[in-house]
Amino acid sequence: MKSVRVALAGAGNCAWSFSQFVAQAQADPETRLPGLMCHTVGGYRLSDVRIVAAFDVDAAKVGLPLAEAFTAPAICATDFTPLGVDRNAPVLAAPVLDGLAGPLGAVVELAESARDTTQEDVSKALAEHEVDVLVIVLPTGASQAIRMFANAALAAGVAVVNATPEELARDVDLRRRFADAGLVLLGDDLRSHVGATSLHTTLIELLLSRGLVLASTYQLNVGGNTDFLNLADAGRSASKFASKANALRAAGVTDVDGVAGPTGFIGHLADTKVCFANIKATSVLGSEVEIDVKLTVEDSPNAAGVIANAVRLGKTATDRGLSGAVEDAAAILFKSPPRGLPESEARAAFLDFVS
Ligand SMILES: NC(=O)c1ccc[n+]([C@@H]2O[C@H](COP(=O)([O-])OP(=O)(O)OC[C@H]3O[C@@H](n4cnc5c(N)ncnc54)[C@H](O)[C@@H]3O)[C@@H](O)[C@H]2O)c1
């Protein structure tokens, strides 16, 4: 049977929503699920995905089957559906490195077994579970831990999807090492399915396509999950600000006062994310146009929609003998791919590749 064997580095909220999306597809493979952009990607349905292992450092998750780990206190994404065939995939310990630096250290208790786990242990587990694609869904700013997972995957011969804004696919040397090993490395930083970046850049593309001149823009985002808690620490959020700026630049926001970033943790929002975007532009005869939009989404299912495409793209590219960042086809899935494209061009490149 055709399958995409996936491991998750980080059994947090995005991992939980993605696992539920896969379970929903497995329960009814023929139905076109809401939010699923492509029923098949390179011939793979979402129901062909198998989550075979996960890695974490949280004492409330490590050593448990996947379905039980997702009941840990740090999980706040909505429980829509029980897991199916993947419910007993093991949650294995990983080296913590800088994974719990900042505010996360106060809300997550470190698993004892994570203290003496090594990169080699991670590599070995990836090989033993015959993983095709490792999805890195670690906290933003945990650059040592994220890089450790990339190196472990490289040693095990496993493709990587980097959901975080840390530089992996944009790192020329790392990309070359993956390419030399015949492995795919997709990233960086998920561009959420219908999220702040997609909405913001689509509106900018609309204005630019009509010949308007941008004057200024900003994008504010607040939420209440552990991702936002972590991002509330200035020491952790720098790469997220840089990544959002990359996405705006690719959309044509150059020489303009543009600001976009995570702007605050509001605990009672839990997994709800609220984005406010403002764009000012000059139109015919110097007349002014101003757009203000508010977008409210559930943050983690929004990530799951993109991961559903990314893992199948990673496997398809591997099947076709490709390696490295698969640049144009993957650009729609990330805020900071090695070469950013406007939304419509990126979507066309992806659909062309996967059809
Ligand atoms: N939600 C979205 O739409 C979206 C969009 C773009 C990017 N992202 C990025 O995805 C990443 C994950 O987000 P999330 O909401 O799932 O975060 P989360 O806080 O819910 O999950 C992170 C998980 O990583 C674990 N972890 C920490 N250090 C580790 C280590 N060394 N080894 C293994 N596991 C470790 C934590 O215990 C936690 O379970 C973040 O970097 C976020 O910015 C999310």
Q: Mean pLDDT over residues 78-96, rounded?
A: 98
Contacts of residue 260, defined as CB under 8 A and 6 or more positions apart, other chains included, come to 196, 197, 200, 217, 218, 219, 221, 241, 244, 245, 247, 248
Residues 44 and 89 in one domain: yes
Residues 281 and 331 in one domain: no
Q: Are residues 22 and 111 in the same domain?
A: yes
Note the pLDDT of residue 339.
Answer: 94
- Phi, psi for residue 219 in degrees, rounded to 5: -140, 115
**Atom 33 in ligand 1: residue holding the nearest Cα:** 56
Q: List CB contacts of 101: < 8 A, sequence separation 6 or more.
A: 141, 142, 235, 236
Sequence-separated (6 or more) residues with CB below 8 Å from residue 291: 203, 207, 277, 278, 279
Which numbered atom of ligand 1 lies nearest the CA of 16? 16
Same domain for 184 and 333? Answer: yes
Q: 62 and 90 share a domain?
A: yes
Query: Counting atoms of ligand 1 from 1, which one is nearest the CA of 14?
Result: 16
Mean pLDDT score, 335-341 = 94
- Segment (H or E) for 299: helix 299-319
Q: What is the pLDDT of residues 10-22, one digit of tens each?
A: 999 999 999 999 9
Kindly give, in sequence order, each residue whose CB lies less than 8 Å from that of residue 301, ignoring residues fewer than 6 positions away. Answer: 17, 20, 21, 35, 77, 78, 80, 193
Distance 273 CA to ligand 1 centre (A): 15
Q: Where are any strands of DSSP class E within 4-122?
A: 4-9, 40-41, 44-45, 49-56, 91-93
Return the percentage of the chain with pLDDT > 90, whole number.
Answer: 94
What is the rounded CA–CA span in Å between residue 242 and residue 202? 19
For the chain, the domain total comes to 2
Q: Which residue do the tokens 């960042």 mark? A: 325
For atom 11 of ligand 1, the residue with the nearest CA is: 137
Please give the distance, rounded to the nearest whole angstrom, from the Cα atom of residue 14 to the centre of ligand 1: 7
Q: Encoding tokens for residue 41?
A: 């990607």
Judging by DSSP bridges, how do beta strands 159-162 and 185-186 pair with one another?
Answer: parallel
Q: Give residue 300's pLDDT.
A: 98
Closest residue by Cα to atom 7, ligand 1, is: 190
Q: Which residue has the higher pLDDT, 2 or 148?
A: 148
Average pLDDT over every residue of 101-127: 97
> Ligand 1: does its nearest atom lie under 6 Å from the Cβ of 117?
no
pLDDT tens track for 225-254: 999 999 999 999 999 999 999 999 999 888
Question: Is the same domain home to 126 and 40?
Answer: yes
Distance 34 CA to ligand 1 centre (A): 24
Cα(309)–Cα(314) distance, integer angstroms: 9
Question: Do residues 127 and 65 both lie within one domain?
Answer: yes
Give, using CA atoms, the residue closest to atom 2 of ligand 1. Answer: 303
Q: Are 125 and 245 part of one and the same domain?
A: no
| Residue 294: other Cβ atoms inside 10 A | 9
Give 304's pLDDT tier (boundaries 50, 70, 90): very high
Q: What is the CATH number of the domain that holds 182?
A: 3.40.50.720
Q: For residue 156, which amino acid is it?
A: A
Number of H helices, E strands in the chain: 12, 12
- Please state the rounded mean pLDDT for residues 206-234: 96
301 lines ligand 1 (CB under 6 A): no
Determine the structural domain holding residue 268 and report its residue range.
196-298
DSSP 286: G
135 lines ligand 1 (CB under 6 A): no
Task: Report the residue among 18, 137, 263 best suited for mutation to probe ligand 1: largest number of ligand atoms under 8 A from its CB.
Answer: 137
How far CA 210 is from CA of 14, 198, 253, 343, in Å, comes to 36, 19, 15, 16
Instruction: Indicate the pLDDT class of residue 255, thresholds 50, 70 and 90.
Output: confident
- Cβ proximity of 257 and 247 under 8 Å: no
Same domain, residue pair 173 and 46: yes
Which residue, by CA, sits nearest to atom 4 of ligand 1?
303
Does the CB atom of residue 99 touch ligand 1 within 6 A?
Answer: yes
What pLDDT does residue 259 have? 84
Same domain, 305 and 283: no
- Is 204 found in the same domain as 328? no
Shortest-distance atom of ligand 1 to CA 164: 41
Cα(278) to centroid of ligand 1, in Å?
A: 28
Look at residues 265, 281, 298 and tell me which one is the last residue of a structural domain.
298
Q: What residue owns the CA closest to ligand 1's atom 3?
A: 303
Q: What is the mean pLDDT of the chain?
A: 96
Half-sphere exposure of 196 (CA within 13 A, CB side): 32
What integer pLDDT is reported at residue 256 of this predicted model?
A: 81
Q: Evaluate the CA torsion angle 306, 308, 310, 313 in order and state its sign.
A: negative
Residue 11 CB–ligand 1 contact under 6 Å: yes
Contact status, residue 284 vs residue 140, Cβ threshold 8 Å:
no
How confident is the model at residue 334, as a pLDDT?
A: 97
Q: Which residues pair with 53 in a beta bridge?
A: 7
Query: Are the C-beta atoms of residues 187 and 153 closer than 8 Å to each other?
Result: no
- Is the CB of residue 186 below 6 angstroms from any atom belonging to ligand 1? no
Kindly report the CATH number assigned to the domain that includes residue 215. 3.30.360.10
pLDDT-based confidence at residue 47 (cuts at 50, 70, 90) = very high
Quote the pLDDT of residue 345: 93
Whether residues 47 and 178 fall in one domain: yes
Q: Is the CB of 94 under 6 A from ligand 1?
A: yes
Nearest Cα residue to 350 out of 37, 2, 22, 5: 37
Domain ends where: 298, 322, 343? 298
Task: Tell me which of 298, 323, 343 is where a domain ends.
Answer: 298
Residue 210 has pLDDT above 80, yes or no: yes
Ligand 1 closest atom vs CA 74: 20
Atom of ligand 1 nearest to the CA of 230: 19
User: How confident is the model at residue 188, as a pLDDT?
Assistant: 97
